[in-house]
Amino acid sequence: MKGIHGVISGKCMKKYKCSTLLSKVTGLCRHRLNKNQSKRHQIEKSARVSTVKTHQGKVEAFMKREDNSRTQPGKQDAQRLKKGVKVQTHVLTDYLTNLYNKFKSENPNLKISFTSFCRSRPKYILTAAFSSRSSCLCTKHQNASLTIKALRREGFDISMNPEKGMGQVPSSEIMKSKLGESVALSQWTRIEVEEKGKKKYVTKIVESQMSADKFVSHVKDQMSEFDAHVNRVRIQYEQIRTIKEKLPEHEMLIQLDFAENYSCKSLEEVQSAYFNQTSVTLHPMVVYYRSDDGTLQHKSFIIVSDEMAHRSSTVITFINEIMPMLKKIDSELQCIHYWSDSPTSQYRNKSIFDFVANHKAIHGMNARWNYFEAGHGKGPCDGLGGTCKRLADEAMRSGKTIIQDAKAFYEWAIQSSMTNVTFRFVSTEICAQTEKIQERLPLKSIKGTMKVHAAVGNGESTIKVRDVSCYCETCISGQTCDSWRMESTKVNIGNKRAVGGLKQNKEILIIPVSEPVATTGESEPIFEQSVTATGSEEHGGKEDSKVDSEIRFQVEEYVAAVYEGSWYIGKVTDTDENEHEGEVDFMESKKQFFQWPRSRDSIWLHQNVVLCKINVPVPTGKSRRMFRLSDGDKDKIFDLFSNFVR
Ligand SMILES: [Zn+2]
Ligand SMILES: [Zn+2]
């Protein structure tokens, strides 16, 4: 009704004093007609404002979500909201039309137009510019969009949005019929460059001219690869959303990532200090858990360290550091779901897989490690790191503090305004200790590591892996559904070197070898490789001991020892002072012979897993690279081994 008043009345009507006439003709109330001051426009506007207002919070939360936008990591990437309030800027990872459709599918009952959706975007959330140099999108996405550009130059009308456009690429035949002899294509490529005599890899845009045939086959390969990439991106985000929504009680989800290093510089020496700036490693971790009332809570941690190597042992040290605090939050913690990016040097490698495999033995609860698809792993850690560095810079500029090294950064941080973040300092010495322990472990690389996007600890140095995460009902309940495949994280000497005696006695293969146990001191995690003890000496059970406890390790001598249920032979290369422990280089068994493996395979052993000392194996065959045991040694080993495991 109001609308009708608006349509027919307005300033003009008033000006010509027609309201009485109009009222008579239309039968509408004269007073109400008079009240209208060309309100038509305003009515619509106010209605629009209200939808924007009602849904703004929802849309903002949606756009801020890590699958839809990325926090800009730089300190300068902050927007002033109101006076004094700064927020890290976000960049949307997709076109607004796509995001709108996604939003609608997630909120089917919400009535919001595309325009209102766009208007609800806060200023600090920027739209993405595909294929621009400064774009934060991953190389796969950028390359896809560069290919689309090339196709469009050749006259194909396909969408600029790579996720749409790659699906619109015509068939090979059509492409070939339309393309000229050669096609120009730019792609981001990893190339080797020499800088100051050193070779290194950089990713650059490389433009090349290629034949139409080559171009077509490139596009076809890229299409399937890109399709798989986009799928994994989507699935991983769906999975983290699922587990966040359904996170069971006494379980935690941790998102972790290295922030860009913070470089210390005092104001006066910005220029001169440039070449030997001290850097600070910052490793944010955001921990999600269910509170007693069932709501999802989170706590933020930042590890500050002077350790510059960002490797897996560093990550493990950092996790060990916050573990006591996690147990304080929930003393009945049963499972931790880690979510990280997927660089192989830091998170996706054999050390982390082994850490996950033995997580329960080390820390007392199960673990699952999930990897975001490469290039799409930015989450809350990014913003946390960026905010922290920005505040540090502001404190420096205002002269409140001087940050010259990691320790000083930490000292500043704990009394800073970031009171909702728990800071911990981890020294490079502690990281070095973990690294040493890691080096000793006989770790095995897992086939297809680059494809693994989820790993679940399975105990006894085994994990189950998958190409994408799975949080189906079975998996959420703590079990693993059938889609996982099992892998072992330690060198499986059992298969490689086990010889005759073992094959006949498969049932005696299993002996309890407990996993490395962390004795968590206040801040120094020390791992102990606890070794199979048959008949413990503390209990005076020496009679039960099936191993000659008199055996002392001697460098250069050969021993037969039990490891993970099988026996092996090897040469002692090092011992501790008491000769109770020794480092043994293992040989591989090949049929009834032995040979040295291509790469050295050594491990520290305790004397109680040594069966006996043996004679130096005798070289045989033409090459003299195969060795055999004397008959006496063989019998001795078989006897002792069967006693050892019984
Ligand atoms: Zn991508
Ligand atoms: Zn499952």
Residues 445, 272: Cα–Cα separation, whole Å? 44
CA of 483 relative to ligand 2 center, distance in Å: 7
CA of 149 relative to ligand 1 center, distance in Å: 17
Q: What is the pLDDT of residue 368?
A: 97
Q: What is the pLDDT of residue 412?
A: 93
Give the ligand with the smallest distance to the CA of 137: 1
Q: What is the pLDDT of residue 356?
A: 95
Model confidence band, residue 301 (pLDDT cutoffs 50, 70, 90): very high
Residue-wise pLDDT for 427-486, tens only, equals 999 999 999 888 888 888 888 888 999 999 998 889 999 999 999 999 999 999 999 999
Give the ligand with the smallest distance to the CA of 94: 1
> Who wins on pLDDT, 382 or 502?
382
Side-chain half-sphere CA neighbours of 566 within 13 A: 20
CA of 474 relative to ligand 2 center, distance in Å: 6
Residue type, 305: S
CA of 336 relative to ligand 1 center, distance in Å: 27
Residue-wise pLDDT for 166-208, tens only, equals 999 999 999 989 888 889 999 988 888 887 777 777 878 889 9
For residue 533, pLDDT over 60 is answered with no
Residue-wise pLDDT for 573-621, tens only, equals 887 766 777 788 888 887 778 888 877 777 777 777 788 888 888 888 7
Give the ligand with the smallest distance to the CA of 469: 2
CA of 357 relative to ligand 2 center, distance in Å: 18
Is the distance from CB of 498 to CB of 591 less than 8 angstroms? no
Give the ligand with the smallest distance to the CA of 162: 1
CA of 68 relative to ligand 1 center, distance in Å: 12
Give the ligand with the smallest distance to the CA of 136: 1
Give the ligand with the smallest distance to the CA of 243: 2
For residue 109, pLDDT over 90 is answered with no
CA of 311 relative to ligand 2 center, distance in Å: 30
For residue 323, pLDDT over 50 is answered with yes
- Cα distance from N-terminal residue to C-terminal residue, the chain: 93
Give the ligand with the smallest distance to the CA of 143: 1
**What is the average pLDDT across 311-323?**
94
For residue 271, pLDDT over 50 is answered with no
Residues 207, 542: Cα–Cα separation, whole Å? 74
**What is the average pLDDT across 415-430?**
92
Give the ligand with the smallest distance to the CA of 484: 2
CA of 481 relative to ligand 2 center, distance in Å: 4
Residue-wise pLDDT for 360-417, tens only, equals 998 999 999 999 998 887 778 888 898 899 899 888 888 888 888 899 999 999 998 8
Give the ligand with the smallest distance to the CA of 378: 1
Q: How far is C-alpha 58 from the geometric centre of its chain's CA atoms? A: 27
pTM > 0.85 = no
CA of 175 relative to ligand 1 center, distance in Å: 25
Model confidence band, residue 92 (pLDDT cutoffs 50, 70, 90): confident
CA of 373 relative to ligand 1 center, distance in Å: 8
CA of 411 relative to ligand 1 center, distance in Å: 38
CA of 210 relative to ligand 1 center, distance in Å: 24
CA of 101 relative to ligand 1 center, distance in Å: 19
CA of 316 relative to ligand 2 center, distance in Å: 26
Which residues sit with Cβ closer than 5 angstroms to ligand 2, an ion?
470, 472, 475, 481
**What is the average pLDDT across 548-564?**
77
Q: What is the pLDDT of residue 438?
A: 87
For residue 133, pLDDT over 70 is answered with no
Percent of the chain with pLDDT over 90: 31
Give the ligand with the smallest distance to the CA of 483: 2
Residues 128, 136: Cα–Cα separation, whole Å? 8
CA of 202 relative to ligand 1 center, distance in Å: 18
For residue 520, pLDDT over 50 is answered with no
CA of 338 relative to ligand 1 center, distance in Å: 21
Q: What is the pLDDT of residue 243?
A: 92
The first and second tokens of residue 297, run together, are: 């809570």
CA of 377 relative to ligand 1 center, distance in Å: 10
Give the ligand with the smallest distance to the CA of 239: 2
Residue-wise pLDDT for 214-260, tens only, equals 999 999 999 999 999 999 988 998 899 899 989 999 999 999 999 88
CA of 375 relative to ligand 1 center, distance in Å: 6
CA of 466 relative to ligand 2 center, distance in Å: 10
CA of 488 relative to ligand 2 center, distance in Å: 20
Q: What is the pLDDT of residue 396?
A: 85
* Strand pairing category for 125-126 and 90-92: parallel
CA of 201 relative to ligand 1 center, distance in Å: 20
Mean of the per-residue pLDDT values of the chain: 79
CA of 477 relative to ligand 2 center, distance in Å: 9
Residue-wise pLDDT for 142-164, tens only, equals 899 899 999 999 999 998 888 88
Residues 68, 91: Cα–Cα separation, whole Å? 8
φ and ψ at residue 572, rounded to 5 degrees: -80, 125
Q: What is the pLDDT of residue 500?
A: 32
Is the distance from CB of 453 to CB of 469 less than 8 angstroms? yes
Residues 348, 340: Cα–Cα separation, whole Å? 9
Is the distance from CB of 601 to CB of 442 less than 8 angstroms? yes
CA of 231 relative to ligand 1 center, distance in Å: 10
List Cβ neighbours of 580 (8 Å cut-off, separation of 6 or more).
552, 553, 606, 607
Give the ligand with the smallest distance to the CA of 472: 2
Is the distance from CB of 73 to CB of 259 less than 8 angstroms? yes
CA of 140 relative to ligand 2 center, distance in Å: 28
Helix axes 96-106, 40-64, angle to 10 degrees: 80
CA of 119 relative to ligand 2 center, distance in Å: 39
164-169, long-range: CB < 8 A, 24+ apart = 164/98, 166/222, 166/223, 166/226, 166/227, 167/227, 169/219, 169/223
Give the ligand with the smallest distance to the CA of 479: 2
